[in-house]
Amino acid sequence: MTHLPRRCVLAGLAAGSALALSPARFAMAQSAAPIKLGFQLHRTGIGASYGRWYERTAQAALTRVNAAGGINGRPVEIVFEDDGTDPKRGAEVVDKLVSQHGCDLIFGPLFSHVVIGSAPRAGELKVPYLVCSEGYHVASGMLNRWTLQPGITDVRAQVSSMAPWVTSTLGKKVTMVFPDYAFGHDHRDFFTAAVEAQGGQIVAKIAVPPTETSFTRYFPQIPADTDVLYHVMVGPAVLTFVKELGEFYGSGARPQIFGFIDSLEAVDLAGPGLEFLEGTHFWEGHCRVKQADAPAWEGEYRAAVGVDDNGASVSDAKDVATYAHMFSVWETLSVIKQGMEAAGYQSTADRQKFVEAVEAMTGFDAGLDHVQGTKTFNGKTHQVFGQQFISKVEGGKLIRVHATAIEDGLYPDAVDYTTQSF
């Protein structure tokens, strides 16, 4: 009788048990190779404070998706590439993610110029490009059939739905302060139209050139009869802007102040010089501070992305999240999973099927997949619509005082991407 060498037996046992214990959850897949998602990340450049949190959110969402069995039974990987928040590099990154890393699709960019600069290349490569931007450029019809925005509402919907509350609650005479480039112009145009539709009036429009580093000379232009000062700023100078606004009004009388949280994303409201924000209002895409009536999944989402109840990193209370926007990354990954599973996605040959599957979606229910809230999706314009929140600074914290209805942000379709060829 021949004996099997003990080493062989042990090896066989080890291999057998490994096979038996290996995660059965991936067993259904026809291919066990991971699905590779490319992430176009603003790691450096003007969008870096967003990029840092978008990467963390994407990692957290990825962990969750993989723990739940991946997509179509296949594990999922994310390849991050820095685009420097620059459109030229953005298009190169699209190339790199697709041609070099072999990614199945690309998602994640926020800044409009990067999105608009990269979308043509995504269209040429025929790769789905799911953006987390806010500009009115997907739904306006400027881009192509491969570009979708299922994770966050656009600025047109945001400002249109804010206007009724602002005019009815804060006042009808509004002065706008906005950056003098496309993002600010979207605010100017859509908010003006929405305010006038409510019987309100824009008494002054103060456009601040993008190179400005000090804002004191703009504040005297605010008319004295202003009821509401509407401000939106982005970029490195936002903190200076808000502090100088506080110095301008001091402790004296001031109009109601309504701002877009973009002005203060990743900034601690308890910081020095920001005391005057007490009692002012902000738009928030997703409430930074965990509200008393927060749904059950809110805590789970915060724990996953490493954000405490005040909206800062659990490991560093000074590291404030870009909480009002970063949910879009989490939700976009949920849509990717739903879309790929609906399309029976197996390989890059199924990219078109994936886009068609997303176009066929009509909405998303609030829950751990869609943490910000319930949404409707317009497959023709490739744009999602959802609730917006208005919060008031009370005791240095943003407390929600109003939530809009999804319908408040709807507007007529400007494009039907489904009629375009792939």
- The residue within the footprint of other proteins, chosen from 37, 38, 42, 43 (CB under 8 A), is 43
Whichever of 153 and 334 has its CB closer to other proteins, that residue is 153
Residue 25 near residue 69, CB atoms below 8 Å: yes
| Span interacting with other proteins, options 8-16, 18-26, 138-146, 309-317, rule CB under 8 A | 138-146
Whichever of 390 and 415 has its CB closer to other proteins, that residue is 415
Q: How far is the CB of 339 from other proteins (least distance, A)?
A: 24
- In the block, residue with structure tokens 């979207």: 186
Q: Is 112 near other proteins (CB under 8 A)?
A: yes
Q: How far is the CB of 66 from other proteins (least distance, A)?
A: 24
- The residue within the footprint of other proteins, chosen from 29, 103, 116, 343 (CB under 8 A), is 116
Whichever of 115 and 304 has its CB closer to other proteins, that residue is 115
Whichever of 210 and 236 has its CB closer to other proteins, that residue is 210
With CA atoms as reference, report the closest residue to 284 among 327, 240, 236: 327
Instruction: Give the separation between CA 101 and CA 242, rounded to whole angstroms.
Output: 42
- The residue within the footprint of other proteins, chosen from 99, 168, 221, 347 (CB under 8 A), is 99
With CA atoms as reference, report the closest residue to 246 among 43, 393, 128, 58: 393
Q: Is 320 near other proteins (CB under 8 A)?
A: no
Residue 421: CB partners within 8 Å, gap ≥ 6? 145
Q: How far is the CB of 367 from other proteins (least distance, A)?
A: 34
Q: Is 217 near other proteins (CB under 8 A)?
A: no
- Residue 197 phi/psi, 5-degree rounding, is -65, -20
Q: How far is the CB of 415 from other proteins (least distance, A)?
A: 13
Q: Is 137 near other proteins (CB under 8 A)?
A: yes
| Span interacting with other proteins, options 13-21, 119-127, 152-160, 213-221, rule CB under 8 A | 119-127
Q: Which amino acid is at 166?
A: V
Q: How far apart are the first and last CA of the chain?
A: 67
Question: What part of residues 276-315 is at the interface with other proteins (CB under 8 A)?
Answer: none
SS (H, E, C) 212-229: CCCCCCCHHHCCCCCCEE
- The residue within the footprint of other proteins, chosen from 77, 124, 268, 319 (CB under 8 A), is 124
Q: Is 87 near other proteins (CB under 8 A)?
A: yes
With CA atoms as reference, report the closest residue to 108 among 135, 78, 137: 78
With CA atoms as reference, report the closest residue to 151 among 337, 412, 415, 313: 337
Q: How far is the CB of 98 from other proteins (least distance, A)?
A: 8
Instruction: Give the separation between CA 292 and CA 222, rounded to whole angstroms.
Output: 36
- In the block, residue with structure tokens 């990717």: 336
Residue 310: CB partners within 8 Å, gap ≥ 6? 288, 289, 290, 317, 397
Residues that bind other proteins (CB under 8 A): 43-44, 81-82, 84, 86-88, 91-92, 95-96, 99-100, 112-113, 116-121, 123-124, 135, 137, 142-144, 180-183, 185, 209-211
